[in-house]
Structure 1
Amino acid sequence: MIPFLDLKAQYATIGKDIEAAALRVLRSGRYVLGDEVTALEEAFAAYCGVKHAIAVNTGTSALHLALLAAGVGKGDEVITTPFTFIATAAAIRYIGARPVFVDIDPETFNIDPERIEEAITPRTRAIVPVHLYGQMAEMDAILSIARKHDLAVVEDACQAHGAQYDGHMAGSMGLSGCFSFYPGKNLGACGEGGMVVTSSDEQAQKIRMLRDWGQDRRYHHIVEGYNYRMDAVQGAVLAVKLGQLESWIEARRTRARLYGRVLAGSGLGVPLEADGRRHVWHIFAVRTQDREQLQKMLAREGVETGLHYPVPVHLQPAFADLKLGRGSFPMAEAAADSVLSLPLYPEMDLQSVEIVGALLQQDEFAA
């Protein structure tokens, strides 16, 4: 059996440190925010090369608060991609704004910057590029467009911890960047967690208040806020794991390179690392026109796979009110119909990568 992800294997390598961190919190009597979360925030800000990191309870909350702090409100429009996890668009809807989708670059799966300007209207207030699968979007072009039209850029880096664009860390290039620490992410909590990073003092102050009932000090509520605080156990656990993140990234990159070699000539569409990027390979998604049969074959051989994502956001019933039918974003729809995520995690042995590659060397599964 080759699992898609094996969190037990990760735990086996750092279990004692995780347990010690959690026990330290339990004995402290301080279970929400506190010193453990502050220490994580400081370490993560330094890692991302920004001034501030504000810990929250989920990546979705991070996106919600970052957009609010950027001044996006009811009736505004926010440009993003339809090929993403639904939380990206949901966070936009939470504040009464409208997600405006732009099709993707089929080579990187990220938003196509050449299509952004045609989607801008007088109501547009922000762009949310998603660094999908662990590779950063074309940030130079996106930031240039944003400056031209006076728009905020909020990076959805929920799948891109440690990714780089020409040496710049994910989350550090826009007004703010948002991360998820869902357990399956490259940096995952033992539960839920999220983070907003920014070098803006003003944004950081707003987000810190918004995550904690809008108060600037206890029982002094300056704005309407939310209960989006990170719990201390997650802060302590994530601080331990942050120390391992770079080695895990390199392990992922090694396995992704091996996949690239063993899948050469397979006929499958193999993902690429764009020039000037450091892809951190949260997901290794190949493309095939016979996905169902390929997935069934792998399952018979004991190989777990995933689908990220089989239905683009604009075709989800929850967003039917946008009235965007099939054909609205052909590149995103084609990707949704053809991507298949292969097993990839730091502890995956290299022989397993070669086994999966050998199974996929079959002509009938050509892209």
Structure 2
Amino acid sequence: MIPVSEPDLGPLEREYLLDAFDSGWISSRGHYVVRAEKQLEFLTGASYASVCSNGTTALHLALLAGGISRGDEVIIPSLTYVATINAVYYVDAVPVIVDVLDSTWCIDPAAVEAAITPRTTAILAVDLYGQTANYIALRQIADRHGLLLIADAAESLGASLNGTPAGALADISTFSFFGNKVVTSGEGGAVTTERADFHARIQQLRNQGNHATQRYFHEVVGFNYRMTNVAAAILTAQLERAEELIAHRRRVVDDYVRLLGPDTRLRAQQVSMGAVPTPWMFSVRIAGASSIERDGIIDALATQGIESRPVFPLIQDMPFVPVNQRTSTPVAEQISREGISLPTYPRLTSDDIATVCTAVRGALPPTSPVG
């Protein structure tokens, strides 16, 4: 079986994990928490990093730190994982769902501009599958309208745009370290920012609202969103190996592009000018396919021992989203319908990739379907 993803854990992760275990500091205090945050600051170029329990709590903390609250409108892309919209609901804000670009699959700046109202307070962009959103255009829009710019960079650690790393492209950025992400701590997340006031707020809120210097004095309602020292030990090792892990992922994607790129039945996610993505999942569109045809290809791969998965469904199609928030996003709808994510992880061999590509080509219709 070739899985769609698996973590790359080695001797360094084991060494740090056992060291944290042997130290007795297995909860949310310990030196690996600090080391992980310092390593994140180094990798992202951000002035401040705070680790937390997972990527969803990172989004929640980012919105809270930015002062987003009841009735505020937050513009988000239609094509993203459900955590993005969940976090908006956590703060009683209103998600305004807009379309994405046909090229990069990331939020469309023109659609963002068109969606702004007097109630808009933030833009929450998503670096889909490791491709950075167009933060140059989004920054200009945010500054022109006095909006907070947040980056959901859960999938893009190590990516950059015009030389600026993910984690320093927005006012606040968030990361996920789930088991299938670029680097992992099993479960985990982080928030990075340049602003000291945001950082102080995040540090307080993740720790039950505790006062910065007076223990057991809680100034505000907070949350238990802390990362354990054990998880941080694994994360520290992964962050120290990040350059190696990302290089292996890029090698995997290069092989996919070489083997599948010439096939006109497929359309790959494009890289925007000035961007250096971190490939989280190599994802392609089966040109003109219906979701049934796409799912048939996923099933055909599974019969050959190859796991794959569909591109994210539209978030406005989730049953809990109110009808009045279900906007029309035709570009995202087509990508979601046609898209498939193929196995992508550092230890995937060139032979494995060749096997996957042969199976994909064999499962595709002889010519592009009309749709």
Fold agreement, TM-score > 0.5: yes
Aligned partner of residue 127 in structure 1, secondary structure:
strand
- What's 1:320 paired with? 322
Name which of structure 1's ranges 58-67 and 143-152 shifts more when overlaid on structure 2.
58-67
Q: Which residue matches 1:185? A: 181
Once residues 100 and 117 of structure 2 are traced to their aligned partners in structure 1, the CA distance between those partners, rounded to angstroms, is: 19
Alignment of 1:219-238 (within 5 A): 219-238=216-235
Q: Name the SS for the 2:150 alignment partner.
A: strand
Q: Is the 8 A contact 1:44 1:53 kept in 2?
A: yes
2:216 and 2:296 mapped to 1: Cα distance? Answer: 58
Pairing 1:139-150 to 2, within 5 Å after superposition:
139-150=135-146
Deviation string 1:295-328 (CA, Å, 9 cap, x unpaired) is 122122221101231x210011021344526xx1
2:294 corresponds to 1:291: yes
Amino acid at match of 1:273: V
* Cα displacement (A) at 1:257: 1.5
Instruction: Return the TM-score normalized by structure 2.
Output: 0.93
What residue number does 1:61 align with?
57
Q: Deviations over 1:42-88 (max 9, x none)?
A: 11111100111011111111111111111111110100111100000
2:41 counterpart of 1:41: no
Secondary structure, aligned partner of 2:192: strand
Give the corresponding residue for 1:176.
Answer: 172
| Residue segments in structure 1 that go unaligned for 5+ positions in a row | none
Moved more, 266-275 or 88-97: 266-275
User: Which of 190, 193, 196 is equivalent to 1:195?
Assistant: 190
Counterpart of 2:207 in structure 1 is 212
Q: Which residue of 1 aligns with 2:120?
A: 124
Q: Distance in 2 between matches of 1:343 and 1:160?
A: 17
**Is 1:246–2:243 an aligned residue pair?**
yes
Which range moves more in the overlay, 352-361 or 296-305?
Answer: 352-361
Task: Using the TM superposition, give the Cα deviation of residue 292 of structure 1 relative to its aligned residue in structure 2, in angstroms.
Answer: 2.0
Which has the larger displacement, 154-163 or 16-25?
16-25
1:28-55: CA deviation from partner (whole Å, max 9, x where unpaired) = 2222133210111011111100111011
Cα distance in structure 2, aligned partners of 1:140 and 1:20: 41
Q: Secondary structure at the match of 2:173?
A: strand
1:50 to 46, 59, 84: 46
Sort the Cα spacing of 1:321 and 1:94 in 2 relative to 1 into closer, same or farther, 3 A: farther
After TM superposition, the structure 1 = structure 2 runs for residues 21-40 of structure 1, keeping only pairs within 5 Å, are: 21-30=16-25, 31-40=27-36
SS at match of 1:233: helix
Structure-1 separation of matches of 2:298 and 2:62:
38
**Could you tell me which residue of structure 2 aligns to residue 20 of structure 1?**
15
C-alpha distance in structure 1 between counterparts of 2:144 and 2:344, whole Å: 39
Q: Secondary structure of the residue that 1:153 maps to in structure 2?
A: strand
Distance (whole Å) between structure 2 residues aligned to residue 284 and residue 320 of structure 1? 32
Residue of structure 2 equivalent to 1:93:
89
The AA in structure 2 aligned to 1:238 is: L
User: 1:178-202: CA deviations, max 9, x gaps?
Assistant: 001111101111x311100011111
AA aligned to 2:251 is T
For these two proteins, the number of residue pairs brought into alignment is 358
Where does residue 364 of structure 1 map in the other structure?
365
Identity percentage over the alignment? Answer: 34
Cα distance in 2 for residues equivalent to 1:323 and 1:282: 29
2:340 aligns to what? 340
Kept after mapping to 1: 8 A contact 2:80/2:126: yes
Are the counterparts in 1 of residues 95 and 325 from structure 2 also a CA contact under 8 Å?
A: no
Which amino acid is the alignment partner of residue 283 of structure 1? M
Q: Which residue of 2 aligns with 1:258?
A: 255
1:292 aligned partner, one-letter code? D
Secondary structure of 1:23's aligned partner? helix
2:159 to 149, 160, 163: 163
* Residue in 1 that maps onto 2:80: 84
Tell me the CA shift for residue 272 of structure 1: 2.3
In structure 2, C-alpha distance between the alignment counterparts of 1:50 and 1:154, rounded to whole Å: 14
For 2:261 and 2:17, the matched residues in 1 are separated by: 44
Contact 1:314 / 1:322 at 8 angstroms: preserved in 2? no
Q: TM-score, normalised by structure 1?
A: 0.94
Which residue identity lines up with residue 133 of structure 2 in the other structure? A
CA distance in 2, matches of 1:80, 1:338: 21
Across the aligned residues of Structure 1 and Structure 2, the Cα RMSD in angstroms comes to: 1.5
Letter of the 2:304 counterpart: E
Paired letter, 1:339: G
